Structure formats: C-alpha cells, structure tokens
Amino acid sequence: MFATLLSVLPIFGLVITGFIAKRLLPSHELWKGIEALVYYLFFPILLILEISKANFSEPGLIEALLATFIATLLIALLLFPIKHFFKIENRLFTSIFQGGTRYNSYVFLALSQSLFGTSGIIIAGVFMAYMIIIINILCISVLNLYGSNQSGKKSLGGILLALLKNPLIIGVLIGIAANLLQIELSGPLKQWMLYLGNSATPLSLMSVGAGLIIMMDAGKMKAITFAIVLKLLLMPAITIILLKILGVEGITAGVALLFATMPSAGNAYILSRQMGGDSDAIASMITWSTLLSIITIPLIMSLVI
C-alpha cells in the first residue's frame, strides 16, 4: 500500500496545486483556456502516441471491460428503486446518478500511467473509448427524464453525435487506426507530439483542482454521502468480485479496478447546469469524492498491486 500511496500522492499534489493556483490566479478565461488545451489537444495527442504502438493482445482485456460495464450498470440500476423508496426529488436524483456512475478521465489516465506505465495508459485508452460512450448515454438519458431544463434535452441521435465529436474518443480512434495500419510515428513529428503529450498530465490535474468547488449543503449531505459511497466503495467492491469471477489478473485487472475507484467527473457539473440537474449537489459530490479518493484509491489499489 505504501508504494501505491507514493505513486498516488504526486498526482493529487497536482490537483491541490491547481486548487491553490486558481485562488491566486482567479482568471476564469485563463483556466478555461488551459482546460480547453488539455481536452482538445494535449490528451488526444498523448492517446494517439500511446495507442498507435499498443499491443491489443493483453490477456483478459475483454473480460475486464465486461467487468467494468456490469459494475457500472449494476450501480445505475440500483439507483432507481432507491429513488422511489426514499422519494428522492428528480433534480437531486440526476446528481446522485451522475455522482455514482461518472469517472474522472484525467485522473484515470494520469494514475494509469503513474501506476502501470505505458501499458497502463494504453489499456486505459481502450477503456475510455467504450466507457465514455456508455456512461454518457446513461447519464444524459437520466437527465432527459428527470432534469428540469426542457430546452436542454437531447435525442439519442444527438447524444451519439456529440460523443463522436469528443476529442478523447477521436484521439483513441486515430490511435487505433494508426496501429491497425502500422503507421509508425517518428522523427520531428513524434518529438512534437511528445512535447504536447507530456503537458497533458500536469495541466489536466491542475485543471481538475481549479474546478473544485468547496461547499457543504447540510440539507443534501445524506444524498451526497450516499453517492460518494456508491462511487468510491461499492463500485470497486463489485468490480473486484467480477474480476475474480472472470479470472482477470495482472495490469489489466489493475487498470479495471483503478477505473472503478475514480472520483466523479467535473463535466458532470456542466452537464447538470445545461440539462436542469441539481448543480450545487453534483459540485459537492465532485469535490468531496476527489478529496476522499486520495485515501480510498491507495487502500483499494493495494489489493492488486
């Protein structure tokens, strides 16, 4: 566990650095620009670089993807009877749903690289290609049903079109295409891409920290705590059981479990505001799940590392 903690601490050190830097440099445009560069350029370039040279014959990859998919689906399905049993208000339910199912892709990629090296980020890229689509369809569908903003509602076709424009998915798809066509990135082009890709991890994690909003809504603390327990504890527990049942081991199992331990994603807040969810509640869930994951991730990952 101590070795895992040493790998995790620098990652969250960058998150805290971003949180402090945002208070010292509060320019909204500055941080918006940094996040845009990370999202549209740095991380896609990093994914293209790593996936273009990947070996997709990693044992247990399909089974690991299946385990994460089933675990996510079980959490999602569990929330509906809980909503009706506890009579959770619609807007708050959308936040609990997003808080319990979404994951932070920036922290996931950074920790995959930190804990498992090049192999880790390659496997993480494959996970993201599938799970970004699945989780977005689930969350946007729930917001369509229970969100209060009628003008923000989206059709299934609109959801899929938006996902196809996601820069991270585009980066994964370009990397896979280059891999299948055996296109080797080399020379000045590769060096240029390395410079950009190396910027992805520190700037993305600082932007995660800059986006944290410290708030404590006492009236919604039960719901916020419930969503965090689902995301940081129940999701990993289900994933561990499924990985054991499916016989997945090694780095593939490690990346799958790491995926399950991730805190809630910052883009859930933006989506909540657009589609009439409870944006204050999801902001609290994102912040507190991120901070608490500094403790839960090393504890859980020590089970496989």
- Confidence class of residue 78 from pLDDT cuts 50, 70 and 90? very high
153 inside domain:
yes
Most confident segment among 74-78, 167-171, 174-178, 269-273: 74-78
CA distance 212 to 18: 9
61 inside domain:
yes
pLDDT, position 180: 87
pLDDT, position 112: 92
209 inside domain:
no
CA distance 197 to 89: 43
pLDDT at 248 over 90: yes
pLDDT, position 24: 92
Residue tagged 């995660």 (tokens): 208
Confirm if 35 and 200 have CB atoms less than 8 A apart: no
Structure confidence by residue, pLDDT tens digits, 140-186: 889 888 888 766 666 767 777 777 778 878 888 898 899 889 888 88
257 inside domain:
yes
Over the range 148-173, which residues count as b (16 or more CB within 10 Å of their CB) and which as e? eeeebebeeeebeeeeeebbbbebbb
Q: Among residues of the chain, what percentage have pLDDT more than 70?
A: 94
Show the domain range for 281. 33-203+214-300
124 inside domain:
yes
Number of domains present in the structure of the chain: 1
pLDDT at 1 over 70: no
173 inside domain:
yes
**What tokens were used for 55?**
């070996």
87 inside domain:
yes
**What tokens were used for 53?**
């040279």
**CATH code of the domain containing 95:** 1.20.1530
Confirm if 258 and 108 have CB atoms less than 8 A apart: yes
- Confidence class of residue 305 from pLDDT cuts 50, 70 and 90? low
What's the N-to-C CA distance of the chain in angstroms? 8
Structure confidence by residue, pLDDT tens digits, 205-217: 898 888 887 766 6
Structure confidence by residue, pLDDT tens digits, 91-115: 999 999 999 999 998 899 889 988 9
136 inside domain:
yes
Residue tagged 């609990």 (tokens): 96
